[in-house]
Amino acid sequence: MSEKFRAHHILCTSLYEGKGYSSEFCVNMSAVVNSLRSHSEEAFQIVAEPDLICANCPNQTKENTCAQNANRVADKDRRVIERFGLKENGTYTYRELCCLADEKLTYEIYLEFCGTCPWRESGLCKYEDLKKNLSAIASSC
């Protein structure tokens, strides 16, 4: 997957289980997540802008921003990049990103990134589950 990958999606993809904004979004995200998991050594560019997962997101505007707040998601991506010690536009594998996330993610950082996320609020994303999944992926680092 030599594509762009949005920084905060490091967290979203490790717990993804086929639920999302719409059926079109879920079909696309499922395909991307399956590719990440089965090709975890392929490199991609970490960005603070829309990526393959965003392609069918109903919140994406024609201007390639979030309908809820134009800079909110990009700001979150940049905070993830900073907190995890990444370089914006740097090249990483999914396994490398999961290893870094497993190492750096604390409950406080989880709340910073995911505290107001509707998936956390609905119970689909829990810190303990996120750490468990990241650790499983990172176990081969």
At residue 70, does pLDDT exceed 70?
no
Residues 33-46, buried b or exposed e (16+ Cβ, 10 A)? Answer: beebeeebeeebeb
At residue 21, does pLDDT exceed 80?
no
pLDDT for 54 equals 84
Q: What is the pTM of this model?
A: 0.86
Domain ranges of the chain: 4-136
For the stretch 76-119, pLDDT in tens is: 999 999 999 999 999 999 999 999 999 999 999 999 988 888 77
Residue 1: band (very low, low, confident or very high) from pLDDT cuts 50, 70, 90: very low
More confident residue, 49 or 107: 107
Which DSSP string do the residues of the chain spell out, in sequence order?
A: --SEEETTHHHHHHH--S--SSHHHHHHHHHHHHHHHHTTT-EEEEESS--TGGGG-TTB-TTSSBTT-TTHHHHHHHHHHHHTT--TT-EEEHHHHHHHHHHH--HHHHHHHHTT-HHHHTTS--HHHHHHHHHHHHTT-
Q: Which residues contact 87 (CB under 8 A, 6 or more apart)?
A: 46, 81
